[in-house]
Amino acid sequence: MSGAKARFDITINGFDAGINVFPDTATLTTWGEASDSLGGIYVSYGNAALTLNSSEGITNSAEIAPQIATALGGEAHGV
């Protein structure tokens, strides 16, 4: 459904998160536009997105997304 070719569930700071790996940047861009419209918080890097919790952990996600983006050389979205 997301267009990702792989998905990994992880926990960051005690909250559910995930890594989506997309086949190309066009698919990531399409997914990102949908996530943005739903208020999602994520960090994009290459063809991947680190999705952060945007419900109970939203404050934490908004704080750490820019830090993660800087560390990866990626881009924080939804913050």
φ, ψ (nearest 5 deg) of residue 38: -100, 5
What is the value of pTM for the model shown?
A: 0.90
Res 30: pLDDT: 95
Res 25: pLDDT: 93
φ, ψ (nearest 5 deg) of residue 70: -65, -45
- What are the tens digits of pLDDT across the range 53-78? 878 888 999 999 999 999 999 999 99
Res 1: pLDDT: 59
In angstroms, what CA-CA distances link 6 with 19, 45, 56, 73, 76?
A: 8, 15, 25, 21, 20
**Could you tell me if 16 and 7 are in contact, meaning their C-beta atoms sit under 8 angstroms apart?**
no
